[in-house]
Amino acid sequence: MSFLRNCWYMAGWADEFVAGQMLPRTLLNEPIVMFRDSLGGLQALHDRCPHRFVPLHLGVLANDRIQCAYHGLSFDCSGSCVHNPHGNGAIPKAARVRTYPMHERHGMAWIWMGDAALADPAMITDYTPMDPQTAYLGKSYLHVKANYVLETDNILDLSHIEFLHGSSLGSDAVAQGVIEVEQHGDTVHSRRTTHDEQLTPELARLRGVPPGQRVDRWLDVRWNAPCNMLLNSGHTPSGLGREQGRSVYVTHIFTPHTDASTHYWFAIAFSKELGEEGRRLADENIQWLRQPFTTEDMPMLEAQQQVIGDQDFWALKPVLLASDGGAVRARRLLEQMIKQEQMPPSGLS
Ligand code: FES
Ligand SMILES: [Fe+2]
């Protein structure tokens, strides 16, 4: 499956971008060099000098220009070569580098990998609950050697927490939870509600559930193309309505690194109204979440990728279960969007 191009992909946490420093990162198989310019904006260039194709990030960034380390051509934020130290200094027409629109929102850096003329910041997935202005965030990152859509499947079908994370995030009530899948426009919602559940002691402690108390738990996942998810995870004492419960927001954002590897950005948010306690909870929760994600999900996803290799997912005829509704809906929608994007404009053949 090829990639959706005309959309925003997360390229990093905004605070990874420090003025004057280049941040090289491969996204969708393309080497990109990004940096924060002197006005505080984010810039991205193809990380390949058009002269002899060395990575530009090996050069020097000064005055919002990158000077190639090999023979000294300099490129500005528009990708134009602005200095040629050789001969009469004339700039060859082909001495240009592709640039990519970037935008910062909700503490995240977003990049547009398609037609720059279509880049509209209004299309950035809404992560208001994760805004560092209003929330303390526990943030983390994993580099996973698996295709990003396998990652989407993983989050849209959280029945797996009963089996893969039985001693941490799961319990024996999860697979029998009530599932609802809804689609509104291009947004897919996959919701799972469990009843009369006993959380693991550690999860209960981290989420403020008194020892021994049974709960009803909801795990609501929102998916937006291409691979941006927001989980709202909450609980109430068994039998009470949601409005009497409490919940947290967790991001699962996947950006393709290559066809078979993924940048995985995840974070958990606690309101700043909680004061120092919110900061402590954010730190403690993210440390704790990292454990099952690293030692349980990641090896499973990487083993899955090894088996699938570059074979087409549907050609393998996957068995479909009741829990697959959300993941299948998102896959189909993404495939449709990619197909539509690749269709020649009407009137052309
Ligand atoms: S490779 Fe960059 S200037 Fe020669
Ligand atoms: Fe998991």
245-262: per-residue pLDDT in tens?
Answer: 999 999 999 999 999 999
Based on the domain organization, do 153 and 103 belong to the same domain?
no
Pocket test for ligand 1, best of 45, 73, 74, 83 (most atoms within 8 A of CB): 73
Q: How many alpha carbons fall within 13 Å on the CB side of residue 216?
A: 14
Closest ligand by atom to 151 CA = 2
Q: Residues 171, 48: one domain?
A: no
Average pLDDT over residues 136-146: 98
Is residue 348 domain-resident? no
Domain that holds residue 78: 8-123
Closest-lying ligand to the alpha carbon of 264?
Answer: 2
pLDDT for the residue numbered 344: 80
Q: How far apart are CA 10 and CA 255, in angstroms?
A: 6
pTM: 0.96
User: Over the stretch 107-125, which tens digit does the pLDDT of each residue have?
Assistant: 999 999 999 999 999 999 9
pLDDT digits (tens, 9 = 90+) for 151-187: 999 999 999 999 999 999 998 888 899 999 999 999 9
Query: What integer pLDDT is reported at residue 130 of this predicted model?
Result: 96
pLDDT reported for residue 1: 66
To the nearest whole percent, how much of the chain has pLDDT over 70?
99
Instruction: Report residue 207 as tokens.
Output: 């989420």
pLDDT of amino acid 334 = 98
Whether residue 315 is contained in a domain is answered as yes
Tens digits of residue pLDDT in 6-34: 999 999 999 999 999 999 999 999 999 99
User: Is 200 among the domain residues?
Assistant: yes
- Looking at 69, 90, 123, the residue that finishes a domain is 123
Q: Which atom of ligand 1 is nearest to the CA of 49?
A: 2
Q: What average pLDDT does the segment 232-243 reach?
A: 94
Q: What is the mean pLDDT of residues 89-101?
A: 97
Output the average pLDDT for the chain: 96
Proximal ligand: closest to the CA of 47: 1
Looking at the structure, tell me whether residues 35 and 139 fall in a common domain.
no
- The answer to whether residues 300 and 226 belong to one domain is yes
Residue 78 lies in a domain: yes
Q: Which two tokens stand for residue 254?
A: 């996947």
Does residue 348 carry a pLDDT above 70? no
Phi and psi angles of residue 47, each rounded to the nearest 5 degrees, phi first? -85, 60
Residues ≥6 apart with Cβ < 8 Å to 82:
65, 74, 75, 76, 91
User: What CATH number corresponds to the domain at position 65?
Assistant: 2.102.10.10
Whichever domain contains 229, its CATH number is 3.90.380.10
On whether residue 345 sits in a domain, the answer given is: no
Name all residues whose Cβ lies below 6 A of ligand 1: 49, 51-52, 54, 68, 70-73
How many separate domains does the chain show? Answer: 2
Per the listing, tokens 């919110």 go with 278
98 and 150, same domain (yes or no): no
Q: Are strands 60-62 and 30-36 parallel, antiparallel or unpaired?
A: unpaired
Which ligand has the shortest distance to the CA of 158? 2
| Residue 347 resides in a domain | no
Q: Are 203 and 228 members of one domain?
A: yes
Last residue of a domain, one of 103, 123, 143: 123
Residue 28, in any domain of the structure: yes
Torsion of CA 329, 27, 317, 174, to 10 degrees: -50
What mean pLDDT do residues 203-210 have?
92
Residue nearest to atom 1 of ligand 1 (CA): 52
In contact, 224 and 187? CB cutoff 8 Å: yes
The answer on 330 and 308 residing in a single domain is yes
198 C-alpha to ligand 2 centroid (Å): 18
- Residues 217/234, Cβ–Cβ less than 8 Å: yes
Q: 285 and 213, same structural domain?
A: yes
**How does residue 345 score in pLDDT terms, banded at 50, 70 and 90?**
confident
Do 65 and 133 belong together in one domain? no
Using the mean position of ligand 1's atoms as its centre, give its distance from the Cα of residue 290 in Å.
Answer: 41
Q: What is the distance in A from the centroid of ligand 1 to the CA of 44?
A: 18
- Which residue puts its alpha carbon closest to atom 4 of ligand 1? 71
Does 265 reside within a domain? yes
Residues 137, 68: one domain? no
Ligand 1: atom nearest CA of 56 is 2
Cβ-Cβ contacts under 8 Å for 250 (sequence gap 6 or more): 230, 231, 233, 266, 267, 268, 269, 289
Nearest CA owner, ligand 1 atom 3? 71
Judge if 263 and 224 occupy the same domain.
yes
Please report the atom of ligand 1 found closest to the CA of residue 73.
Answer: 3
Instruction: Please tell me whether residues 132 and 228 are part of one structural domain.
Output: yes
Q: Which of 57, 65, 68, 97 to mutate to test the pocket of ligand 1 (most atoms within 8 A of CB)?
A: 68
Is the pLDDT assigned to residue 203 strictly greater than 60?
yes
Which tokens in the block code for residue 118? 């279509």
Q: What is the mean pLDDT of residues 218-239?
A: 97
Q: Among 123, 157, 191, which residue terminates a domain?
A: 123
Q: Write down the pLDDT at residue 347.
A: 58
